[in-house]
């Protein structure tokens, strides 16, 4: 029997990379998974890659109407949520002095506003004793150039976990933040080799992480293996945030 046998999970932004690897693993461990993505073609490809026990819902996590439609689908098909991985995120990067209002609105709109309402709108369907996982980043605790807005947005996500751990304690819903370091995903295709080499130079193990290493950490936080774990930030970063 899998560690998530019979569970219903929702994973946002799961059309590629870490979240897609997590969705695949959750299904392998017995869960039925609802995934979201903004682009229908990529969403359809992800559903096909997962192969079974999955429903894809086209949605932008910064759009509250899309979130409502997501949860209406979950309610109609399964009636409850046991695990939520609020993974959708992104950000604009640039030096202080060159940050635009649009940079701020888009980054905070997705990472902060989107995460808040992804969780809040799920609560009426959430099973007592369930698990909420939010996608953080080492950028929330480290100082990287050109990451002012992105880093601040991920620090806010970490703060959510502390507050919601207290607010949801009577329902025994665990709330944790999963904070990756540099993971070898398609997002990094936008960076040149010099930038990729710089990222690797910061990692004690001198390699990037793999999406599957995030997935196994998410499985730990989703399953009863972490039954006494709540309010934490779990770094999966090869040690970058610890040194």
What is the set of active-site residues?
Answer: 150
Contact yes or no for 204/181 (Cβ under 8 A): no
Nearest-CA neighbor of 56 among 77, 33, 79? 33
* For the chain, the helix, strand and coil percentages under 3-state DSSP, each to the nearest 5: 50, 20, 35
Q: Are strands 81-86 and 8-11 parallel, antiparallel or unpaired?
A: parallel
Contact yes or no for 67/121 (Cβ under 8 A): yes
DSSP structural state of residue 228: T
C-alpha 87 chain-centroid distance: 2
In the chain, what's the furthest Cα-to-Cα distance? 54
């Amino acid at each position: 029997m899998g560690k998530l046998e019979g569970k219903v999970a929702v994973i946002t932004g799961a059309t590629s990379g870490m979240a897609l690897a997590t969705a695949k693993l959750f299904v392998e461990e017995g869960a039925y998974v609802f995934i979201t993505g903004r682009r229908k073609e990529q969403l359809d490809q992800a559903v096909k890659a997962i192969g079974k026990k999955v429903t894809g819902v086209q949605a932008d996590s910064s759009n509250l109407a899309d979130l409502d439609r997501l949860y209406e689908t979950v309610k109609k098909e399964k009636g409850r949520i046991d695990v939520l991985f609020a993974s959708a995120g992104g950000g604009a990067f640039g030096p202080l002095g060159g940050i635009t209002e649009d940079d701020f609105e888009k980054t905070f709109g997705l990472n902060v506003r989107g995460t808040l309402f992804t969780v809040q709108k799920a609560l009426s369907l959430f099973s007592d004793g369930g698990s909420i996982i939010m996608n953080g980043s080492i950028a929330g605790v480290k100082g990287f150039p050109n990451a002012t807005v992105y880093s601040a947005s991920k620090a806010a996500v970490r703060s959510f976990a502390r507050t919601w751990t207290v607010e949801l304690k009577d329902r025994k819903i665990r709330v944790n933040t999963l904070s990756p370091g540099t993971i070898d995903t398609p997002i990094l295709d936008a960076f040149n080799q010099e930038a990729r080499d710089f990222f690797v130079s910061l990692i004690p193990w001198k390699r990037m992480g793999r999406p599957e290493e995030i997935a196994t950490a998410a499985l730990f936080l989703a399953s009863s293996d972490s039954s006494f774990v709540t309010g934490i930030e779990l770094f999966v970063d090869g040690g970058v945030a610890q040194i």
